[in-house]
Structure 1
Amino acid sequence: MSKIICRCEEITEEEILKAIEDGATTVDEVKKFTRAGMGLCQGRTCRKTVEKILAKELSIKIEDVKTSSFRAPVRPVKMKVLIV
């Protein structure tokens, strides 16, 4: 049984390795192949682990892994908070 890397989308290490085998070379490409990092936390939980897996599989330094663009999770804001 493969361990879960992205808890929000329930993406396993096996799925990430398959994406890399299929040609993913950046965190964004892994995200597009698997949806890892697209859940509620927007990759805050799994992004670093995906970067480590990519570095290991591609035999490159972790700092050379192209990271994904990510956004903070969106939350509703009351209008009165915005009024100066």
Structure 2
Amino acid sequence: MADDILICRCEEVCERKIREAIADGATTLTGVKRRTSAGMGLCQGRTCRRLISAMLTQQAGIDPANLEPPTTRPPVRPVKVDTLLTAKEGRIRP
């Protein structure tokens, strides 16, 4: 069944749950995220964000240009600031 298609693989959220969240009043990516946990997994929505955005624009009639960006979280694994600075400067750390 089409409603059982996984949209967010990380959190295993199917299309039906996202459609229900939108019908329940979610009008932003963050609203869908809070109601379903879609976009809260390891990839932080990088895999499912476009699909959820398309569902919001189609079902809720929101103009894609007016769609609010979702909230984001820091990386899953901590990274030392020195590593980021070295990468930015183009130096390879020994």
Runs of 5+ unmatched residues, structure 1: none
Q: How far, CA to CA, are the matches of 1:78 and 1:12 in structure 2?
A: 36
> What CA RMSD, in Å, does the superposition of the two structures yield over aligned residues?
2.3
Q: How far, CA to CA, are the matches of 1:31 and 1:41 in structure 2?
A: 13
Against the structure 1 CA distance between its residues 5 and 80, is the aligned structure 2 distance closer, same or farther, given a 3 Å change threshold? Answer: same
Q: CA deviation at 1:80?
A: 7.5
Against the structure 1 CA distance between its residues 26 and 78, is the aligned structure 2 distance closer, same or farther, given a 3 Å change threshold? Answer: closer
Partner of 1:27: 29
1:15-71 C-alpha deviation (Å, 9 max, x unpaired): 000001111111001000000000000111111111110000111221222221223
When the two structures are superposed, what TM-score results if normalisation uses the length of structure 2? 0.76
Q: Does 1:50 align with 2:64?
A: no
Which protein has greater RCO, CA pairs closer than 8 Å, 6+ apart?
A: 1
Against the structure 1 CA distance between its residues 49 and 78, is the aligned structure 2 distance closer, same or farther, given a 3 Å change threshold? Answer: same
Q: How far, CA to CA, are the matches of 1:69 and 1:79 in structure 2?
A: 22
SS of residue paired to 2:7: strand
When the two structures are superposed, what TM-score results if normalisation uses the length of structure 1? 0.84
Partner of 2:65: 63
Rg bigger for which structure? 2
Identity %: 49
Q: How far, CA to CA, are the matches of 2:29 and 2:81 in structure 1?
A: 35
- How many residues align? The count is 84
The answer to whether the 8 A contact 1:5-1:13 is kept is yes
